[in-house]
Chains A and B, each alone.
Chain A
Amino acid sequence: QSALTQPASVSGSPGQSITISCTGTSSDVGGYNYVSWYQQHPGKVPKLMIYDVSTRPSGVSNRFSGSKSGNTASLSISGLQAEDEADYYCTSFTSANTYVFGTGTRVTVL
């Protein structure tokens, strides 16, 4: 199972909006509404930000939102803040009853 494809880096200025893509296949992202997103600051444990494509857990800012179209899922961050600077990973359920992570995206706040 190959890793889902994410851009290596995305940047934006404070207050701007950015979007991170996560591209898979019809056997994972495209076949199920089981995509989630994780934020990881350096040296820290990953934190759940979005699950089931677009559901935000309690406690996560509404500046984070998720969507999916075909084989590509997306995480959007609006009103970018310095604290959003981190690595972001998508993951998807697969037809083999397994999961696969994305390659990861470094978000930089300029």
Chain B
Amino acid sequence: VQLVQSGAEVKTPGDSMKVSCRASGYTFTDNYIHWVRQAPGQGLQWMGWINPNGGGTNCAQNFQGRVTMTRDTSITTAYMELRSLRSDDTAVYYCTRAAGGSSFDPWGQGTLLTVSS
């Protein structure tokens, strides 16, 4: 089971960014995908989840209106788009699979987003 994310990005405040997370080694539609971010030197912050089976989503209140999670089952890939970027969105963004119960496993390798003018 493996999750492989897209590469690092540099954006300007106000831009949007879209991270991809390609899943392999299991049936993509059997498990939710969650998105988590970690600002430099800070803790983990849960952002939201998508159910690849049907596309239903839910996200943390902090991100409502600014984040969109989608998936393409034909290529077993989940996406997370964050809009109206600010400097404090600079972070490593992770995707992770809900593996049963409360477990998140495995995790993608992380995608570094830098927002700077």
Q: Is the CB of B102 within 8 A of A52?
A: yes
Q: Is A92 an interface residue (CB 8 A)?
A: yes
Q: How long is the Cα–Cα vector from A104 to B43 in the complex, in angstroms?
A: 6
Q: Is the CB of B103 within 8 A of A1?
A: no
Q: Is the CB of B43 within 8 A of A101?
A: yes
Q: How long is the Cα–Cα vector from A96 to B104 in the complex, in angstroms?
A: 18
Q: Is A36 an interface residue (CB 8 A)?
A: yes
Q: How long is the Cα–Cα vector from A48 to B107 in the complex, in angstroms?
A: 9
With known contacts A1-B61, A45-B110, A51–B102 Cβ distance under 8 A: yes
Q: Which residues of the partner chain A approach B17 to less than 8 Å between Cβ atoms?
A: none
Q: Is A3 an interface residue (CB 8 A)?
A: yes
| Size class of the contact patch on chain A | 20 to 34
Q: How long is the Cα–Cα vector from A46 to B110 in the complex, in angstroms?
A: 10
Q: Is A35 an interface residue (CB 8 A)?
A: yes
Most buried by A among B44, B58, B59, B110: B44
Most buried by B among A92, A99, A104: A99
Q: Is the CB of A52 within 8 A of B60?
A: no
In this complex, what residue of B is CB-closest to A51? B103
Q: Is the CB of A101 within 8 A of B105?
A: no
Q: How long is the Cα–Cα vector from A102 to B96 in the complex, in angstroms?
A: 17
With known contacts A45-B94, A100-B46, A103-B43, A34–B105 Cβ distance under 8 A: no
B60-77 vs A, CB cutoff 8 Å, 1 = contact: the mask equals 110000000000000000
Q: Is the CB of A48 within 8 A of B45?
A: no
Q: Which residues of the partner chain A approach B59 to less than 8 Å between Cβ atoms?
A: 98
A30-60 vs B, CB cutoff 8 Å, 1 = contact: the mask equals 0000111010100001101001100101000
9 A-B pairs with least C-beta separation: A51-B103, A34-B102, A104-B43, A52-B101, A48-B105, A36-B102, A99-B46, A101-B44, A45-B107
Which residues of A does B touch, CB under 8 Å?
A: 1, 3, 34-36, 38, 40, 45-46, 48, 51-52, 55, 57, 87, 89, 91-93, 96-104
